[in-house]
């Protein structure tokens, strides 16, 4: 048996699946594609998370696109964090190309252009379905983490949430939260001190400054109503395809706190609301975070800690997390160790530091008698990658240098008119894009302050009236007292007055 035949059997035996699977491509040996030596990823293990890594221009985003559209084709919804803005073309079929046909002939599978159901979401003022959450839904713990406040300040935030709950003051947006911060050390300080303890103005001032900093990054667009329901990420179209929900993030790359806020809220909401799935053989939702190195480089410690926790726990909810980045070392070790699927595109060794990083990367992959991993990492072409996944028993599949299949959808963005048509036909835009500003803590506290000021004014007027009445009463009392004096009565009597006037008249004569 030749080396190629042995390798063919090795790959096919290691990639056997009983249930549904996604075909990524065909394995390669010594730079040659071995037709029908198919590299498969079992759907059953797609909730075990994964990594797509490689240098710029090696095909990471296209690998993400292939995974997303194949998941959709099997009825599994997908959420994509689109940092570069080049994934909207999934909504249109590929125009095809002779090179694509040639690639698929080498792999041994047909190429069939398709479009997929797409929903465009946004955190900012860009066109798309508006993603929002209320301050109350975010909660005091997550809010404290994203604001990176001290333990004392976090305690104050918890007290303010409790006060608002006790007094039926809805915390919906940032202006509500800023108002309760001001109220706590202003008009309401005595009321809060009585039931919850004294709150330091210095602490609320520090919290307020951090809220303003978050607000300047656009968080005022995120906090509010109507809150996005995570169940709307799980929609299936009339043809049985899962919706691919694309979050446009091209304009918030320089606003990491806003993205951190969104990620914290989304992951926490999914974890708290999705039911335990058990062993169903397929994921409920798969989330891809493109350009993940931007997140980990700029993210707050709170976000990194939260992602580490979620990666470990959310698998049981049937949710898979996939990070797309330039180098595996961009991802924290605690996260990297939890990832089942690894698609490693080419890395470039321009410096000693790069060569060291490549050696470290090679150590993350199973040892293979067919590959010198660190050499293969620098020799892969565009659309080629080292792939290892978990089989249905949770065992890593053989490491395979893989010629990846081409996306079935367009490898480009939508034209403006195509995007407009997509948005015009969106049911979610009709559901979420009307701004709601109902009566909440801001308005209710303002009313409370107005009533208190009116009561204070009334009390002041009452006291002033009492003072005037007392003063008038004292004047009358003195006047009455004077009239009742016997001496005054005598000298003011008519007889005395006439006598005095008579004497005066005589003197004047």
Does 461 map to a domain?
Answer: no
Q: Is 245 helix (H, G, I), strand (E, B) or coil?
A: strand
- Does 183 lie in the same domain as 98? no
278 and 366 belong to one structural domain = yes
Least confident piece of the model among 33-42, 97-106, 372-381: 372-381
Same domain, 29 and 66: yes
SS3 content of the chain, % helix, strand, coil (to 5): 50, 15, 30
| The residue to which tokens 């995007």 are assigned | 419
Q: Is residue 455 part of a domain?
A: no
C-alpha–C-alpha distance, residues 144 and 157, integer Å: 7
| In-domain check, residue 287 | yes
* Boundary of a domain, candidates 379, 402, 432: 432
Cα angle, residue 111 at apex, residues 110 and 113 outer, rounded to 5°: 145
Spatial separation of the C-alpha atoms in residues 359 and 2, rounded to whole Å: 30
The more confidently predicted of residues 94 and 189 is 94
| Residue 475 is assigned to a structural domain of this protein | no
Tell the burial category of 163 from Cβ atoms under 10 Å away from its Cβ (0-12, 13-18, 19+).
Answer: buried
Encode pLDDT of 39-90 as tens digits. Answer: 999 999 999 999 999 988 899 999 999 999 999 999 999 999 988 888 999 9
pLDDT the model gives residue 259: 75
> What is the rounded distance in angstroms from the CA atom of residue 171 to the CA atom of residue 140?
11
Closest CA to 208 of 189, 185, 182: 182
Same domain, 110 and 175: no
- Picking from 418, 447, 476, the residue at the C-terminal end of a domain is 447
The pLDDT assigned to 472 comes to 76
What's the pLDDT score for residue 405? 96
Q: Judge if 357 and 388 occupy the same domain.
A: yes
Same domain, 207 and 247: no
Q: How confident is the model at residue 438 (pLDDT cuts 50, 70, 90)?
A: confident
Structurally, the chain folds into a number of domains equal to 2
Least confident among 28-37, 161-170, 334-343, 449-458: 449-458
- Classify residue 459 by burial, with Cβ atoms within 10 Å: 0-12, 13-18, 19+: exposed
Q: Please compute the mean of the pLDDT values over residues 262-279 and round it to a whole number.
A: 83
Task: List the CATH number of the domain containing 341.
Answer: 3.40.50.300
**What confidence tier does 476 reach under pLDDT thresholds 50, 70, 90?**
low
User: 482 pLDDT band (50/70/90 cuts)?
Assistant: low
Among the ranges given (151-155, 312-316, 422-426), the one the predictor scored with the smallest mean pLDDT: 312-316
pLDDT at res. 222: 85
Please tell me which residue, 1 or 316, carries the higher pLDDT value: 316
| Count of other CB atoms within 10 angstroms of residue 206 | 17
Query: Is residue 281 in some structural domain?
Result: yes
Name the pairing type of β-strands 78-82 and 285-289: parallel
Residue 503 in any domain: the answer is no
Long-range contacts for 27-33 (Cβ within 8 Å, ≥24 apart)? 27/400, 27/401, 27/402, 28/384, 28/400, 28/401, 28/402, 28/403, 29/3, 29/4, 29/370, 29/401, 31/379, 33/106, 33/107, 33/403
Specify if 37 maps to a domain: yes
Cα–Cα distance for residue pair 229/233, rounded to 1 Å: 8
On the question of pLDDT at 269 being above 90, the answer is no
Give the Cα separation of 174 and 223 in Å (integer): 7
In a domain, 487, yes or no: no
- For tokens 């409370």, the residue is 448
3-state secondary structure of 133: strand
pLDDT at 457: 73
| Spatial separation of the C-alpha atoms in residues 429 and 147, rounded to whole Å | 30
Asked whether the predicted pLDDT for residue 160 surpasses 80, the reply is yes
| 243 and 258 inside one domain | yes
Last residue of a domain, one of 404, 432, 460: 432
Residue written as tokens 């005395």?
496
Pair (283, 353) in one structural domain: yes
Helices 135-147 and 256-273, axial angle in degrees (round to 10): 130
Amino acid 51: pLDDT: 94
pLDDT computed for residue 153 by the predictor: 92
Average pLDDT over residues 414-427: 92
pTM over 0.95: no
**What would the pLDDT profile of 141-155 be if each residue is shown by its tens digit?**
888 888 888 899 999
84 and 163 in a single domain? The answer is: no
Is 282 in the same domain as 395? yes
Domain that holds residue 190: 138-223+439-447
> Same structural domain for residues 206 and 295?
no
pLDDT band at 258 (very low <50, low <70, confident <90, very high): confident
Please determine, for residue 272, whether its predicted confidence score (pLDDT) is greater than 90: no
* pLDDT tens per residue across span 170-186: 998 899 999 999 988 88
What distances in angstroms separate CA 368 from CA 13, 116, 257, 381, 394, one per listed residue?
15, 37, 42, 20, 18
Mean pLDDT, the chain, as a whole number?
85
Interval 389-407 mean pLDDT: 93
One domain for residues 93 and 174: no
């Amino acid at each position: 048996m030749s080396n190629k035949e042995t390798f063919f059997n090795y790959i096919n035996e290691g990639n056997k699946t009983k249930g549904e699977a996604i075909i990524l491509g065909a394995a390669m040996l010594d730079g040659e594609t071995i037709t029908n030596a198919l590299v498969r990823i079992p759907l059953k293990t797609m909730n075990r998370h994964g990594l797509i890594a490689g240098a710029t221009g090696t095909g990471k985003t296209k690998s993400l696109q292939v995974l997303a559209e194949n998941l959709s084709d099997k009825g599994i919804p997908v959420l994509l964090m689109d940092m570069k803005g080049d994934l909207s073309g999934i909504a249109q079929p590929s125009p095809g190309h002779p090179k694509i046909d040639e690639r698929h002939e080498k792999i041994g599978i047909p190429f069939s252009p398709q479009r997929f159901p797409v929903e465009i979401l946004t955190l900012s003022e860009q066109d798309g379905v508006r993603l929002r959450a209320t301050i109350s839904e975010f909660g005091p713990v997550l809010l404290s983490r994203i604001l990176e406040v001290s333990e004392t300040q976090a305690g104050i935030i918890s007290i303010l949430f409790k006060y608002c709950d006790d007094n039926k003051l809805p915390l919906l947006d940032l202006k509500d939260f800023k108002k309760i911060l001001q109220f706590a050390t202003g008009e309401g300080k005595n009321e809060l001190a009585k039931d919850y303890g004294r709150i330091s103005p210095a602490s609320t001032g520090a919290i307020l400054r951090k809220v303003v900093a978050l607000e300047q990054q656009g968080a005022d667009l995120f906090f509010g109503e109507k809150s996005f329901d995570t169940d709307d990420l799980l929609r299936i179209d009339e043809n049985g395809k899962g919706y691919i929900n694309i979050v446009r993030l091209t304009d918030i790359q320089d606003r990491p706190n806003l993205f951190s806020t969104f990620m914290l809220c989304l992951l926490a909401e999914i974890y708290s609301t999705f039911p335990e799935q058990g062993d169903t053989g397929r994921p409920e939702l798969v989330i891809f975070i493109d350009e993940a190195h931007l997140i980990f480089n700029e993210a707050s410690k709170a976000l990194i800690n939260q992602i580490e926790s979620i990666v470990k726990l959310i698998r049981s909810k049937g949710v898979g997390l996939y990070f797309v980045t330039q180098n595996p070392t961009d991802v924290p070790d605690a996260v990297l160790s939890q990832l089942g699927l690894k698609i490693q595109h080419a890395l470039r060794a321009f410096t000693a530091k790069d060569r060291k990083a490549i050696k470290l990367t090679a150590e993350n992959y199973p040892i293979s008698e067919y590959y010198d991993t660190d050499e293969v990492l620098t020799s892969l072409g565009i659309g080629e990658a080292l792939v290892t996944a978990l089989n249905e028993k949770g065992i890593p599949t053989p490491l395979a240098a893989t010629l990846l299949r081409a996306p079935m959808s367009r490898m480009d963005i939508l034209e403006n008119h195509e995007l407009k048509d997509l948005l015009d036909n969106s049911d979610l835009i009709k559901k979420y894009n009307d701004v709601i500003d109902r009566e909440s803590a801001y308005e209710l506290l303002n009313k409370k302050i107005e009533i208190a000021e009116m009561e204070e004014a009334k009390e002041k007027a009452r006291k002033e009236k009492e003072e005037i009445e007392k003063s008038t009463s004292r004047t009358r009392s003195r006047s009455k007292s004077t009239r009742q004096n016997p001496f005054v009565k005598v000298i003011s009597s008519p007889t005395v007055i006439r006598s005095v006037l008579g004497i005066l008249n005589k003197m004047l004569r």
